[in-house]
A and B are shown apart, each in its own frame.
Chain A
Amino acid sequence: QKEVEQNSGPLSVPEGAIASLNCTYSDRVSQSFFWYRQYSGKSPELIMSIYSNGDKEDGRFTAQLNKASQYVSLLIRDSQPSDSATYLCAVILYSSASKIIFGSGTRLSIRP
């Protein structure tokens, strides 16, 4: 089992709809979770961090964490063409020297 798993996509969503991105992780003691966005040819940039179970909202973005089920998700409301990018889930593996491990990413395409 990979340490951080994501569906590679592509995920195609119509403009204005909600995009839902999911991530599962293997390390039960992980406490810190992050979503990064990477545009084609660019470097990843942090868009959300979440540390507690439940929802965390920031503008059109909502991160959801369920530690019991070991999954974290990202919802993007009112999707815009500018949201088209690859979204990377990252987890700090406290069981392994606190390494920060990324999933393979989900490619999101917003169609006008």
Chain B
Amino acid sequence: DAGVIQSPRHEVTEMGQEVTLRCKPISGHNSLFWYRQTMMRGLELLIYFNNNVPIDDSGMPEDRFSAKMPNASFSTLKIQPSEPRDSAVYFCASSLGQGSNTGELFFGEGSRLTVL
């Protein structure tokens, strides 16, 4: 069974440009999470969805960030406009989301974003 698939794996862009990161969760998983990881701040939860509905987006840094999950097999995280401080590794993770098992996350390989 395929794991969580993220694209692109690497993205280098210039400040002010729009960035779109994509994620395909594991089939059958009903919870999807977007995390950002930096050396300074560690692994931060940005937003998570349950059954395609956003449950908590309090971790989204500001209005420049938006996330959607139009169906059970696809999600996007968009940054517009991008800034150098957005440079990080962005991870998507999914889980079965059944009670306490929600914490058993399966991570994608991450998208490394560099904003110049």
List residues of chain A with CB under 8 Å of any chain B CB. Answer: 31-34, 36, 42-46, 49, 51, 88, 90-92, 96-105
Contact = CB atoms under 8 A, between A and B. Distances in A.
Nearest to A45: B107
Contacts of A46: 104-106
A98 B43 contact: no
Given A34-B103, A43-B109, A44-B107, A99 B48 contact: yes
Contacts, number: 60
Interface centre among A33, A43, A49, A88 (most CB of B within 10 A): A43
Interface size class on chain B is 20 to 34
B2 to A, nearest CB: 15
Interface of B: 33, 35, 42-43, 45, 48, 55-56, 58-59, 91, 100-110
Given A32-B103, A43-B91, A43-B109, A104 B42 contact: yes
B45 A103 contact: no
Contacts of B103: 32-34, 49, 90-92, 100
B107 A31 contact: no
Contact of A99 (B43, B45, B109): B45
Contacts of A49: 101, 103-104
